[in-house]
Each structure stands twice: as C-alpha cells, then as structure tokens.
Amino acid sequence: MTRNTLVALVAAGFALAAAGCNPFLTGEGLTDDPNNPTTATREALFMGVQANTFGQQESGIALTTCMWMQQCTGGGGRFVEQFGKYVIDETSHSGDFNSVYTGGGLIDIRKIEASAGAAGDAVFLGIAQIYEALVVGSAADYWGDLPYTQALTAAAPTLDNQFAVYDSVQALLSRAIVNLGGAGPGPGARDLVFGGAPAAWIEVAHTMKARYYLHTVEAAGAGLITGRTAAQVYADAVAQATLGISAPANDFAAFHGASTSERNVWFQFSQTTFGTDLVAGKRLVDIMNARTDPRRPQYFGKNALGAYGGDDVNAPQPANTVSAVDGTRNSPTFRQPFVTYAENELILAEAYNRGTPAVDAQALIHLNNERTTVPLAALVGVTGAALFDSIMVEKYVALFQNPEVWSDYRRTCRPILTPFAGASPVFGGKIPGRLYYGSNERNTNPINIPAPSTQLATNGFRNRNDPNPCP
Amino acid sequence: MRISFSRLVLFAIALALTPSRSPAQGPLTLSGRVTTEGGVPIGYAEVVIPTLGLGATTRDDGRYAIVIPGARAAAGNTIAVVARRLGYKPVTAQITLAPGIVEHDFVLAPNPLQLGEVVITGAGTVTEAQKLGSVRNTVDSTVVRNSNESNIVQALAGKAPNVEVTQQSGDPGASSFIRIRGTRTISGSGQPLFVVDGVPLDNSSFSTSNFNLNDDLGAGQTDGTVHENRASDLNPNDIESVEILKGAAAGAIYGARAGQGVILITTKSGRAGPTRFSWRSSLSVDDINHKYPLQTIYGEGISGAAPDTTRGGDCDNPSSGSICSRSWGPALVPGSPVFDHANEAYEAGHVVENDLTISGGNDRTTFYLSAGQYHNNGIFVGDNDAYSRVSVRVRGSQRLADNLKVGANFSFADTRGSFIQRGNNVNGIQLSLLRSPPNFNNLPYLDPTYGLHRTYRFQHPGPGDLVADRGFDNPFFIINEQQNRSKVGRMFGNINAEYVASTWLRVNYTLGADYSNDERLEGCPISSSDVCFAGRVIEGKLVNYQVDHSLTATVNYHVNDNLGGTVTLGQNLNARNFRQLGNVGRTLITSQPFKVSNTVSRDIPSDAQTVVHNAGYFAQATLDLYGQVYLTGALRNDGSSTFGRQNRRSWFPKASLAWTFTKVTGERPWLTFGKYRLAYGEAGQEPQPYLTSTNFLSNTIVSGISQGTGETPTQNGFGGLVQGTVKGADALRPERTKEFETGFDIGLFRDKSDLSVTYYNARTEDVILLTPVSAAGTGFTLQASNSATFRNRGLEMTLNVRPLQRQDYGWDVGFQWARNRSLVMSLGGANYVTIGDFQPNVAMVGQELGVLRSLGFYRCGLSAAGVVPAFDAACAGAPNGALFIDASGFPVADPDPRVIANPNPRWTGSVRSSFRFRKLQFSGFIDIRHGGQIWNGTKGALWSYGTHQETASRGTVRTFGQGGWYDGPVVGPGAGTAVPIGQNWYRDGDAPCPFTLIDEPCIEDGGFVKLRELSVTYTLDAPWVQRSIGVSSIDIRVSGRNLHTWTKYTGYDPETSLGGAIAPVTGIDYFNNPQTRSFVFSFTLNR
C-alpha cells in the first residue's frame, strides 16, 4: 500500500507535466499577445495616419514655432514659456521626430501605398502619397537633412541632403497627381478631409508643390542648388500654384470630433494645466489691431480690458492687457488648416512679386484674392518691396498656428522680429533656425546624427535652404 | 521543587486540551522552563520528544509542559528531549520518566551563527546552517513585529546587508521597493520573487492612473496616488521567519524567476502542546516627520507686483498667467496674515492594530488560527487617507498515518485603501499645497458666496464657473472631495502532503493558489482643475490568479559517518493569469456617485490579459564529508511561455562549498567557530510576456503636446489602427545572472561576537532591454532583445557583539555594512537606454545603472568646444569641471546631455543595539545610507513658484563659485562677478529644473542616518498577573518609528520614491507625499 501510494503520487505529478509539456508552454494566449491585433487593413491604417498627421501638424512643433514667431507668447514659467525662450534640448521634439516614421507615420503610409498599389486603387495610393509628402516635407522644414532614401530599410540610415528630400517630395507629389487622376474607389468616407474626392486632393498636391519650391528659392538664389536659379523656382511655384487650391472650401484642413481623443489638439492643450501658459503674441496682435483684423475673435479672446492685446517675450505686458489663445478656433471640432487657399494665393502673390520679371499687378490680385476672403479691403497701388512686405505680413497673419510661418520667416525675415534677448548664447542671438534631431535617433544612429553641440556649430544651427541671415 | 499556582493552571489546561488516547494508563507530564545562560526566559522555544512525535512550545516565561499519553511511554522509560529556539544552540537531554510531573529545565546557549538549525533553501529543499555555502540572512518574527510596519517589505528595511528598501512615501498602504545587491534587470519592476510556505506570492504593483492612458501618457505612477505592493496583504504577525536568498548562488533553485533574489517567508504554525492564546494590541500616533521649508515673507504676484485679488480681479481669470500663479510679489506688510501651508494639511494620524492568535495541537494534529485587524488613518486632515486590512489565517496539519502528513494553510485578507493624489498632477495635494502663496488662505475651500471650489489662482468663482479650470485644485478640496480607493480581496493558500516512504526517502507535494481581486476608483469632482475639469471617474479592476504545483522527492544517504548527504528531485508547474479592465469616464452627469455610468463620455477601455506558464524540473545533491566539508550542487531546467520559440527551455546550475575549518584548526578561545563559504550559481529573469509579438494598436495616443492631449487612431466612427512602436523580438532567452560569492562566518571570543563577511561578483548577461532602434531606419522606436550585460560587485559584513550577558542585564550590538557597485558593461548597440519614466535615468555603458543623464552647465572638459563664445579660451589650463560663467555673470546650459547624478548609494549600513535590565528592555535601530543623489524636482518647481524658503533671500547678490553658491573653480568672462539672485534666476533663469530640463541645480545628496526604531519593553509575568488577569504574561512596549532623520536632503525625506515599487530607479522626487514618524504603544497578552 505504501509503495503503491508513492508510485501513484509520483506518477501523477510527472504525468501531469509530461502530458502538458508543450501545450502548457505554448497554448492559447501564451505566446501570442491576446490583447492586440497583428494585422491591419489599409482602411484602418489610413485612419491612424490621418490622426497622426493632424496631431503632428497641430502639436508641439506648431506650439513652439508659434512662440518663436511671436504669434503666441509663453508664460507660466513652465515648459511652454521655456520653449518660447528657446530652452529646448534634443528630447524636446524627439517624439515628433519619431512620429514621422513610426506608427501612423511613414511605416503605415508605406503599408497603405503597397496595399493600395497591389489592389489597383490609384486614388487611395495618390492620397496616401500626399500624406507622405506632407509628413516628410514638414520634417525637412524642421530638421533639414533627413533619413529618407534609407528610411525603414537600414539599422542606421544615412541622412539625405535636404534638397534631395524636397526633390523626392516633388516627385512624390507628381506621382500622386497622376494617381489621383486614375481609377479606384479610394478611401471614400474614411477620407476625413475631402470624403475621397480626387479633384480636391489634386489641387492640394499642386499647392504643396508650390510651397516646397518656395522653400528652396533663397538657396537657389544664393547659388546653392546646381542648375537652378531663383527665377526658375518662382516660375515653377507660379505654375503649380495656378493649379492649386481654388477656393477656401478646398482647404486641406484637419477633421475633429468632439470625443476626448478626436478633438483639435490646440483645443485639447488649452484644456490642460499648461493651456493657460500660452497667450497671444504682441507682435501678431499689434499687426491685427492696426488693421482691425476680423480674424481677431477667431484667434484670441478679449483681455480683461475688453480689447485684444498680446504679451512680448522681451517686454512682459500687464496681465490685464494680454489676450488668451481663445477665439472661435478654440473649439474641439475646429478644422485646423494645413494647406489652404490663402497660402496658395499668397504663394502666387510672392512668386509674381519676386519672380523675374516681377509682375506686381498679378501679385496684388492674388494678395487681394486672399484679403477678400478675410474680409479685408483690397489694397491698391502697392508695388515692389512694399508689396512684398504686405504679402508676407498677410501670410504671417493668415497662417496663424501653422509652422509654415517659421519657414517663411527664415526665408524672408518677414515680419521683422526681435529675438528673445535673454536666450542662451548658443543660439548666437538669433531665433533658432531648426530643431535638434530627436534623442532617440541620435542614440541609435550616432554615426549619422551629430551631437546637439555639433548641430549648433554647423551652419549656425540653420538648414541648407536657409542662407538668409534673419535674426 | 516548587509547584506554583500557574503551573497548576497550566497543567489543568494541558489536561483539558490533550485528547486522552489511553484512559487505562494515566498520562505522564514533562514540564519545566527554558532560559538563557543568564536566566532570561526564552519564549517560543520548542521542546520536543522526537521519538514520540510529541512537543510543546514555551510561553513567554519560558515554561513548557508536555503531556505524554500513557500508551506512548511508561514511567521508567528514558527518552531524548530536545529544546531549541532560533538563535540558540539546541540542547538534548535524556530524561527518565516518572509518574506525575517530571520537571526538567533547559539552559540554552546563544547560537549566533545558527549552527545546527534547519535552513529552508527553497523549492522544498532544506539544509543545516553550517552546511550552507552562501551567506544566510534571516529575519525572525520578533524583528518583523518590532518594526511596527504593516508591510512585510518595509519591515525588511535595514535588516540585512545589501537589502535596500525604499518606501514610496508615508501614505497609509504605500508600496515599498526592495532591491537586493543592486539592480540586475530593467524589464518589469525588478522586485525579488516572494515565496510563502513554498508557494510564489504575487507582489505586483499597479497605479490606478495607468488605466488612464489618455491623460498620463504612460507615466501613471508619477501622478495619481501611491499604490500598494501586493505582498502587503500578508499580516506580518503571521510570519515566523523570512529567509532572504540574495544572490544567484542561493536562488538558482528557482531558476528563471530568481534573478533579483528570492524572499522565502514561513508562516507560523501550531505545535503540539497546550493551546496558546496571544492577543496583541497596539496604538500608534503618526505625524509628518519633516516640514517642507517654505518662505512666508513675500506674497502672491510676479516681479514684485501683487495681483488684484478682489472679486473679478486678476486672480479670477484662469488665463491670467503668472501674476496669480507665483509668489514673486511684494514683501508682505508686517502683521498681515500669513498661512502655514507647510503644516495646515496635516494632523496626527493613527494606527490601531489588533491581532489574535490561537495555536496548538497534539502529536497528530496541529492548528494555527489568527485574525488580524489593522487600520491606519494617515496624516492628512480628515479620513480620506486610510488603509485597513482584516486578515484571517488557518493553518493545520494532520498525520493520517505514521508516514503521511497532510496539511492546509489558507489566508484571506480584505484590504482597503483610500488615498490622496500627489506627484506630477494638478489634482494632487503637494503640488497645489506647496505652491500656495503664503498670503492666500486655502480655507474655506468653497467660496462662501456661491459655494464653489476656490483656489489661489481662481479666488472668487462666480455662479457660471462650475466647470472652469482652477489652475491647481485647492488642497483641501483634494483632501475632502476626491475619492481614490482600492478594495482588495485576497485568498492565498496551499494544501500539502509529506510522505515518508522510508527512512531514506521523503516525498513532498504542494498545491498552492493565489487569487486577488482589486477594485480601483479614482474620482475627481466637478470643478477640479485641468483635464479633470468637469469631473472624471476612473474605475478599474485587476484580477490576479496564480496556481503553483510542486513535487519533490528527497533521498538521504549515509555511507558512513564521514560520507553522507541528500539528493532532491523536483518538479514545478506554475500558471499566472493577470487581467485588467479599466474605464475612464469624463464629465459627471451629476456630482455623485463616482461611477463611469454617471459620466457623459468614456475613453477607450483598458482591457488586457497576460498569461504566463512555467514548467521547471530540478535536482539537487549534497555531499557531507568528514563532518566539515559540505558540497552542494543543483541544476534546474526551466521552460516558460515567455521565452522565444527557439529557446523554450533554459538551464540554471549552482554549486557551493562550505568548510568548517575550525574542525581542522581546532577551536581557540578567540575563534570558536569558523566556516569558509564558496558558491557559484546562475539565476534568471524571464522576459515580460508578449515581447515577441509585433502588434497594431487602437489606443495609442499619438502626437500630443503635453499630458492630457493626443489622438487615437479611431476617428469619426471609423476604427483605426497604427503600428505599435515596439518591434516584436524573434527570440528571447531569460536574463541570466552568473554570480560568484565567497566569504566566511566566524564566532569570536567564546561566542561573544560573530562576524560574517561576503564578497560577490555578479554578471548579468542577456539582459532584456527595450532597446531603442532607429525610428527613421525601422519605423519602430524599441525592440526587446537580450542585449545588455551588467555587473554588480559588492561586499557585505555583519558583526554582532554581546559584551555583557548576565542574569539581570545584558547588552548587545549588531552592525551591518554593505556596498554594491553596478556597472553597465554593454548595451548591445545603443549608447544608453532610458529606464526612468519621468526623468532620464539611464543604463549607459561604463556607468552605474540608473544614473541621471541630463543637462548641466557648461563646464571645462565636460562640454563641447566651439559653440559658446569665450568658453574655449577660458578653459585653457582651467581645472576639469570648472564652471563657465559668461559675461552676464551666470553659467550657461550645455546642450549636450551628460551624466549628472548617481542615485545609487555608496554604501548602506545599520546599527542595532539592545540593552536589557531585568524585565526591561531598551532597543534601538539606526539605518544608514551614504550617498546616492536625488533629483529634487519639487525644490526646482518651488523655486520657480517663489514659495521655497530659499527664495526668501531674493535679491541677494551672490558670486558663482563662492560663499556656498556653486562652490568650486569658475572660469569665463563673468567669473567673480557678483549677480543678484532672485526671480531672474529661480523663475526666469536656469534654476527651475522641471521646466528648463537643466537638472544640475536640483541634484542633492540623498544620504541619511535614520533612527528607525527606539523602544522600551517591559514584561509583566509575576504570579499576580495570572492570578488577577488570567494570562501568563503581558508585554508592554513603547516605541518610536522613524523618529529622526539626519540628512542634507532638503525635501521632505530622502527616503522617497515617486514611482514606488513599479519603477526600477529611485532618486526622483516630484511633489511626492511626505514620510511619517510614529509613536507606538503596544501590549501583548499571552496565555
């Protein structure tokens, strides 16, 4: 009996183990994550790409450049004000850098493109290519040289020259325009911007081409791009913008719902503890006050005195004179504009004004086209440098909250801004001309991504397309 | 022989409780007293008759009584009787039985090295202390009880060298983080494996805020409330002893789960003999142990200007910005009211604890019953910070046959916590309390005019301002109106059987289960600040279920007196299932109740399950040679569902040698015992589950600006997904620590002293990192891989001295000292891996693990040349590390991050002493941590807010490098320039580290000397006690806990851990709650 019990006990134990050995370690829910899917359709990924892109365009970089451009001013002494005073480091925009490539960014856009291409859905492919162009083009604006040719294919990708990135973006947009003219059901209602309408996307692609041409025009003028003159670039910009966004109704603007994480990111930010740290910038409000700009109640709230006023990073203003960033735009469902009719008209205006030969009459027409939509009274008889100034100042006002303002400033030094006087001497007394590469990228790709101090010491912390010594 | 009344009573009880098995023959009784050489009674000593399977335990007065049924032995028989107690050398006496009562007293000599005592070495294996080849660290029940800690992990603080315990804060129920011989992993929490009576115990921690992915961006443990570590569900009163298996050499028998060490807990059990009753009650009064240094000279405002604080003025407009949020206003008029924000939120907290234990048994049956009730009302005013635990334990065993014993051990705990939010959180108390301007009265927290929540940034809410943002919540609103709850039901236990098949073969079987259900609630009311503004409810549920099966067979062999040993074979199967379900509801429909169903909208639910299965086999053999050399070898093979497909199983070997060299050299008066130890072992840490999967996610928040912002992939009713940022790993193996350990234990000066010294060198390979990968190159940011190698080396010493041991008085002192140095040897590619989730603590090659890599100031030799004008020239010939001062007279922030702080202590130690005079005992315990830097972000933020005491000297002119102001060499055009230090530096300059990210100004030394315990105990066991009260003895104890801390640290307490037992790094302080000190009065009734 004793021996039998022993045998039974031992046998039971080992039988339990032996019988269960492999399934016990590899059964359902053990080796494959039971919590998340491992496949995704292009329709589902496209939703993620749109959300990510809207987030990128409305997020930390837009907030930072709004302050650097003195359209906004930081207060509160915390990270917002610090960013506004150029206190940034390589971690500050590391997440933004990553999101160019990671989930919702390039990795998913490429999957959509591959899937749409394989399915023969040219419209879907074309729309995805426009998202890729916006994401990569914006990244080139912020960081200059960028991993692109080797993106997603190399453990330590090399950087493409910024001009090569812009060239790639132009080529991509050209292909997108062709594809959008092709066949396919497209994303349909899942396209939150235009409901899948190819015609509107074709206009957006042309305006974007014009935008990125302009981003190289100063460099071309300075002889930095082989075989390209400024005149050619302006002509290209005019050619593209002429086919660009034809009406404000066709603006490429975000779509937002009222649910917690579908809301406009600027609005979400205004609801957080840091929201009150961002107020109106005096430089912008002064310009708008001077012309009684009807967009003031869209952009800002009234100050305690019932008027509009902004704060100045170099000369703090009394609290009761400062407006909050709290106009009709500050709504959960506000469709943040990214590429617009206004920008298109002002690109035309600038290109006509600055092109060779200059056609100021055309420039004025396009400036006034934009002013009419505001509405602002048409300008008459303005020409030359004064007209250029009017165009750029109007663009500065019209593109509020859009990082494109920072690109324009770096190209044209308009409007005149006084950099923050107390900034770290590492910036050489200027408004920072680019962002630090992300800390994650430098950590994993130190061969190609230089240290922050080296980035500062290279070309005065400015990108290749930025030869102008704007303060 | 004197027969006392008490002895008669005892005899009567013994008679009454012992089942009479043989009424024909009268029982015999063996009785007596167990004392020390000094005559001090030894309670809880075991007196057993091995041949009869009978025994008893002594009462506190040292008395025992064993009733021997007539059928088992007759008068005239001579039997061996053994008396033993942990810490004393066992004594065996041959006693001849006689009719009636035979008296025999035992005198036990101290056994500082626990020679001859049985040591549990894990997974069903035992050995004797002198045969152990690795260092032994035992904590017994008295030490656990005297710590007055409700959390068994905290009770281990300072109790063994290189066992570092850090409590998250002084909140009731706050978790404690334990680290043994340095950190060896950075995946998971890095906590050791807890095993209770042979069954693994879940000691996980989970912050309720982690249910709220939207507002917290994954940093949940740094805001919200503190959390519990689940081992705190154990009632410390039930614990008999704790063995700490520190290195891989000791822990290898637990294979892939022992990489961070193993804590083996044995609970109390009943013993044959009269039924014992014990009732212990204690009352503790707690208060804040250090008041935060705040200034009370300057009022609300900015740049010396005060805001208009009348109704409708500056401070009724939440977007008014800095003028209302800061205390950089004008000096307050003498005599104007000032409010004591450092003290106003606190009151005396208290703890009430009651424990009842009943235990006993006979030769066939033993039982142990306990019930414990613990309630702690914390130090914040009101009753919303509280923690209570009601626990019951039943343990019994029955000898079914002479060779088969079955047992069961079950416990139930009902644990409830109510917490106050803290940390990086505008709905947390510390942030708003410490930032309150000294001239703002936080009371009443509801505006008397409209009854709405008022705060210093929004002083007069009007009738339409119910849901307007308050900036920061009023601290009293937080204390009184929020609800943060945790409610846990925990069932833990096992059934076991021991079958002695023959004299040489023993088989043990244990089937254990651990189940807990934890219900969480975090509710912030309407009119809270920030993302909580319209009210928010987080409801969550955590279910943890673990089943463990283990079977071992042990063979004893004895060839001759010089050669013998054991062979153990074992098998272990373990299944763990963890489920979490959480919901966040926003915008309360009506103010109460805090239910998700009472909200307007909900976030994507947090819904996850993890299942882990392990199957392990092990064998251990021991060889005892010539009674002085003891060899042990073991091998474990572990399989885990978390290992990659190609590496489904892994081997973990160990080998050790113990040599009692005094057997060869002979005992000397100054060297009574000497043992040399040498051990090597390998232990592992299994990967986190599912790291091998590459997933798409629906709930990742992308591209937010700050906490509380972001987008989900699902938009406008269309489901969306994005690629997860963690790339699946193809193959993962367990992390493997290979540890070599050597040392000696010696008894000195006729056991008046003993010394134990241990050196270890642990190399952890295949450390699993979520290694950063190039986002641009791969589209992912992280991928798990077995990529890193860490090293931990250290030295541990224990010295106990007993200079005086007499009958009436005695004095003993114990010292412990330990150091651990970690080194990151490789990371498999990345320069560094961030392991902090709030601050950039990193693993970085060539550095100690967990150093802070962040921004500092331009310093010669440390910072890059060619960026800042004049820096290069100024540093020519300057000492390395000289601070560069530019023409403005201030330092310049360096854009390149570097290592600026090391949170790891240089060494840790403790001193314990007790002095006994007759029945009065005094004892004290000092815990020391030398070095280890802390990032004091609270100070940095309070500088910016102008409420920190140091900002009271605003406007004072200082010179960098001189007079206690950044002392050290300085260079540069502004060196030696005196500059005013005020708002320009503390708020607008580089000082406020949480906002500037320039962390150098906030680094402080976190070393401390802490008076952990101080107590006086008096034992009343005079005959009148029994006559008048009916108990055998009463212990009365008055003690203090954490009475004083000597430290340079300027925050609440250097013992602070924002992430608690979740984060593998310490040394981060950001508006964490304070620590407490306690005065405890307790009494114990024994019968």
- The ipTM of this complex is 0.92
The predicted pLDDT at position B830 comes to 82
How far is B385 from A175, CA to CA, in rounded Å?
63
Q: What is the SS3 assignment for chain A?
A: CHHHHHHHHHHHHHHHHHHHHHHHHHCCCCCCCCCCCCCCCHHHHHHHHHHHHHHHHHCHHHHHHHHHCCCEEECCCCHHHHHHCCCCCCCCCHHHHHHHHCCCCHHHHHHHHHHHHHHCCHHHHHHHHHHHHHHHHHHHHHHCCECCCCCCCCCCCCCECHHHHHHHHHHHHHHHHHHHCCCCCCCHHHCCCCCCCHHHHHHHHHHHHHHHHHCCHHHHHCCCCCCCCHHHHHHHHHHHHHCCCCCHHHCEECCCCCCHHHCCHHHHHHHCCCHHHEEEEHHHHHHHHHCCCCCHHHHCCCCCCCCCCCECCCCCCCHHHCCECCCCCCCCCCCCEEECHHHHHHHHHHHHHHCCCCCHHHHHHHHHHHHHHCCCCCCCCCCHHHHHHHHHHHHHHHCCCCCHHHHHHHHHCCCCCCCCCCCCHHHCCCCCCCCCCCHHHHHHCCCCCCCHHHHHHCHHHCCCCCCCCCC
**Residue A262 to residue B711, Cβ atoms within 8 A:** yes
Residue A456 and residue A426 in contact, taking contact as beta carbons nearer than 8 Å: yes
How far is B478 from B1068, CA to CA, in rounded Å?
23
**Residue B325 to residue A76, Cβ atoms within 8 A:** yes
How far is B908 from B1012, CA to CA, in rounded Å?
14
How far is B708 from A69, CA to CA, in rounded Å?
25
Pairing of strands B599-602, B563-588: antiparallel
Q: Residues of B with CB below 8 A from A311's CB?
A: 321
Specify the 3-state DSSP secondary structure of B268. Answer: coil
How far is B1043 from B1036, CA to CA, in rounded Å?
19
Choose among A10, A108, A436: nearest Cβ to B553: A10
For A250-277, how does the pLDDT look when each residue is reduced to its tens digit (9 = 90+)? 999 999 999 888 999 999 999 888 888 9
Mutate to test the interface with B, among A269, A270, A272 (most CBs of B within 10 A): A272
Residue B435 corresponds to which tokens in the numbers above? 């930032």
Torsion sign over Cα A304, A308, A313, A314:
negative
The predicted pLDDT at position B1061 comes to 60
| Angle made by CA atoms B205, B432, A312, in degrees to the nearest 5 | 120
Find the closest chain B residue to A259 by CA distance: B601
Percent of chain B with pLDDT over 90: 60
**Residue B507 to residue A6, Cβ atoms within 8 A:** yes
Given CB atoms, is B799 within the 8 Å cutoff of chain A?
Answer: no
- Average pLDDT rounded to a whole number, residues A454-468: 93
Other CB atoms within 10 Å distance of the CB of residue B662: 17
The predicted pLDDT at position A10 comes to 52
**Residue B321 to residue A276, Cβ atoms within 8 A:** yes
Percent of chain A with pLDDT over 70: 95
Find the closest chain B residue to A15 by CA distance: B571
- Nearest-Cα distance to chain A for B193, in Å, is 20
| DSSP code for B306 | P
Residue B814 corresponds to which tokens in the numbers above? 């114990």
Find the closest chain A residue to B608 by CA distance: A35
| Radius of gyration of the CA atoms of chain B, in A | 31
Residue B407 and residue B397 in contact, taking contact as beta carbons nearer than 8 Å: yes
Q: What is the separation of C-alpha B660 from the centre of its chain, rounded to a whole number of angstroms?
A: 35
Choose among B472, B693, B709: nearest Cβ to A265: B709
- Nearest-Cα distance to chain A for B584, in Å, is 11
**Residue A97 to residue B403, Cβ atoms within 8 A:** no
Comparing CA positions, the residue from B515, B497, B494 lying closest to residue B506 is B497
Residue B158 and residue B907 in contact, taking contact as beta carbons nearer than 8 Å: no
For B593-640, how does the pLDDT look when each residue is reduced to its tens digit (9 = 90+)? 999 999 998 888 889 999 999 999 999 999 999 989 999 999 999 999
Given CB atoms, is B710 within the 8 Å cutoff of chain A?
Answer: yes
How far is B246 from B254, CA to CA, in rounded Å?
12
Which helix (DSSP H) or strand (DSSP E) does residue B912 occupy?
A: strand B907-917
Choose among B705, B716, B995: nearest Cβ to A78: B995
**Residue B426 to residue A273, Cβ atoms within 8 A:** yes
Find the closest chain B residue to A7 by CA distance: B501
Residue B994 and residue B1071 in contact, taking contact as beta carbons nearer than 8 Å: no
How far is B122 from A93, CA to CA, in rounded Å?
50
Mutate to test the interface with B, among A7, A25, A313 (most CBs of B within 10 A): A25
The predicted pLDDT at position B708 comes to 77
Q: Of chain B residues 377-416, which have a CB less than 8 A from chain A?
A: 403-404
**Residue A104 to residue B714, Cβ atoms within 8 A:** no
User: In whole angstroms, how far apart are CA B938 and each of B63, B207, B292, B422, B946?
Assistant: 56, 21, 10, 12, 12
User: HSE of A205 in the Cβ direction (CA atoms, 13 Å)?
Assistant: 27
Choose among B214, B551, B829: nearest Cβ to A260: B214
Mutate to test the interface with A, among B215, B309, B319, B602 (most CBs of A within 10 A): B319
How far is A92 from B775, CA to CA, in rounded Å?
16
Mutate to test the interface with B, among A109, A273, A274 (most CBs of B within 10 A): A273
**Residue B720 to residue A100, Cβ atoms within 8 A:** no
pLDDT band, residue A378 (cuts 50/70/90) = very high
How far is A307 from A296, CA to CA, in rounded Å?
10
Q: Residues of B with CB below 8 A from A34's CB?
A: 609, 611
- Average pLDDT rounded to a whole number, residues A89-115: 95
Comparing CA positions, the residue from A407, A443, A461, A447 lying closest to residue A141 is A407
The predicted pLDDT at position A186 comes to 96
Find the closest chain A residue to B616 by CA distance: A17
The predicted pLDDT at position B1 comes to 37
**Residue A102 to residue B725, Cβ atoms within 8 A:** yes
Mutate to test the interface with B, among A191, A440, A449 (most CBs of B within 10 A): A440
**Residue A426 to residue B868, Cβ atoms within 8 A:** yes
Q: Of chain B residues 647-706, which have a CB less than 8 A from chain A?
A: 648, 689-690, 692-698, 700-706
Percent of chain A with pLDDT over 90: 86
Taking 50 as the pLDDT cut, the residues of chain B under it are: 1-24, 218
Q: Residues of B with CB below 8 A from A457's CB?
A: 864, 866-867
Residue B750 zone, left/alpha/beta (φ > 0; ψ -120 to 50; rest): left
Q: Residues of A with CB below 8 A from B988's CB?
A: 77, 422
Q: What single letter denotes the amino acid at residue A434?
A: R
**Residue A38 to residue B723, Cβ atoms within 8 A:** no
**Residue A79 to residue B404, Cβ atoms within 8 A:** no
Choose among B612, B645, B774: nearest Cβ to A444: B774
Greatest pairwise CA separation for chain B in angstroms: 106
Comparing CA positions, the residue from A150, A146, A142, A180 lying closest to residue A160 is A146
Choose among A26, A36, A87: nearest Cβ to B996: A87
Find the closest chain A residue to B891 by CA distance: A424
Other CB atoms within 10 Å distance of the CB of residue B103: 15
Residue B838 and residue B1068 in contact, taking contact as beta carbons nearer than 8 Å: yes
Residue B415 corresponds to which tokens in the numbers above? 């644990």
Given CB atoms, is B1070 within the 8 Å cutoff of chain A?
Answer: no
